[in-house]
Amino acid sequence: MTPDLVKGILAGDVRSAARLMRGIEDGDREALKTLDKLYPHTGRAHVVGITGAPGGGKSTLVDALIGVFRQRSITIGVVAIDPTSPLSGGAILGDRVRMQKHCTDQEVFIRSVATRGWLGGLARAAVGIIHIMDAMGKRIVLVETVGIGQQEVDVTRLAHTSVFVLTPGSGDAIQMMKAGILEVADIFVINKADLEGASRVKRELQAMLSMTNSLPDERQPPVILTEAVNGKGIEDLAEEIVKHREFLAAEGGLERRERERARLELTEAIESALKDYISSGIDRATQDKIVDALVRKKTNPQAAASEIMKQLIGPE
Ligand SMILES: Nc1nc2c(ncn2[C@@H]2O[C@H](COP(=O)(O)OP(=O)(O)OP(=O)(O)O)[C@@H](O)[C@H]2O)c(=O)[nH]1
Ligand SMILES: [Mg+2]
């Protein structure tokens, strides 16, 4: 079964890919092994993070970008990450509906993933899904995430190009500055430019950026005005994404980002291997004993954890 799945995915087969993605989301061991087999075939896709506050128009932008890239015959994968799965089934459905006009296009693959908690900043399932799209031969993988906080800074470690979306009159720029996004974003988009105040937000953002990136030869991230609903500014955005990839390729940045991503995945793999090892290493009865001791305040969590680690791995 596994070799077929691998073959299917490498040939770009959507059903094989969807099947493996389901397995990955369920944490199925066989699926994870199949993913390992795909790993050597990954690394060709350009991963673009599209991030910003809820309702800023990210999905509408993604939809419009798909249109532009498809006109250029570029194959596309889209991963919409929803970190708050139980409450926002509606949002996922909304994304599906909004991107539906591409659903009959074989070269576009859209997948929503509900993450159960974040691991090292980004859910493992999401990373797996990006790898699968990459192995399928998607040239560009757009990853939509919601939020303007620390977690979104972590998302940039996974993407080659990080696009942050703001809207006029929302105060997003200040939030982004606080979260350290101004330092890590590659492209800014002020969407809903049809609304009042877009050019003011652009000026303010550019002023903040010129203070943040003080070195004269440092690349200033472009700030683009878009109206995603009206398809305006989308060509410019696509152009900046392509330009950013060329910029990275020219100065060794692509390899640097690959290494950064590999390091992130390694850390996550170590953490999850340790977790598995530890939870398989102490039996239920021992755990219960320790919990009893904690409840009776005979020990504390740190001391109990060190004790367990000593028993499992040996003294430090
Ligand atoms: N006025 C205006 N509305 C827009 C524009 N782009 C998107 N919208 C609207 O903004 C609303 C939210 O759009 P989405 O694309 O779902 O935004 P999102 O950022 O993906 O939302 P979440 O995924 O829920 O965070 C929708 O009603 C869109 O029609 C725009 O350029 N101008
Ligand atoms: Mg959305």
pLDDT digits (tens, 9 = 90+) for 46-103: 999 999 988 999 999 999 999 999 999 999 999 988 755 444 444 444 455 455 566 6
Please tell me the predicted confidence (pLDDT) of residue 122.
52
Whether residue 186 has its Cβ less than 6 Å from ligand 1: no
- For residue 162 and ligand 1, the question of a CB distance below 6 A is answered with no
Residue 169's identity, in one-letter code, is: G
**Confidence tier at 9 by pLDDT (50, 70, 90):** very high
Across 218-247, average pLDDT: 95
Cα distances (angstroms) measured from residue 221 to each of 130, 212, 245, 254, 268: 25, 11, 13, 17, 30
- The DSSP symbol for 39 reads G
Is pLDDT at 112 greater than 50 in this prediction?
yes
Instruction: Render pLDDT for 164-190 as a digit per residue (tens, 0 to 9).
Output: 999 998 888 888 888 888 888 999 999
Side-chain half-sphere exposure of 263, counting CA atoms within 13 A? 8
If you measure from the C-alpha of residue 99 to the centroid of ligand 2, how many angstroms do you get, rounded to a whole number? Answer: 10
Q: Is 146 in the pocket of ligand 1 (CB under 6 A)?
A: yes
- How remote is the CA of residue 120 from the centroid of ligand 2, in Å? 23
Structure tokens at 43: 């690394």
Q: Over range 298-308, report the average pLDDT.
A: 91
* Cβ density class 80-115: b for 16+ within 10 Å, e for less: bbbbebeeeeebeeebeeebeebeeeebbbbbbbbb
Three-state secondary structure call for residue 77: strand
Q: Is the pLDDT of residue 276 over 90?
A: no
Instruction: Name the CA radius of gyration of the chain, rounded.
Output: 22
Ligand 1 site, residue 53, Cβ cutoff 6 A: no
Q: What is the mean pLDDT of the chain?
A: 85
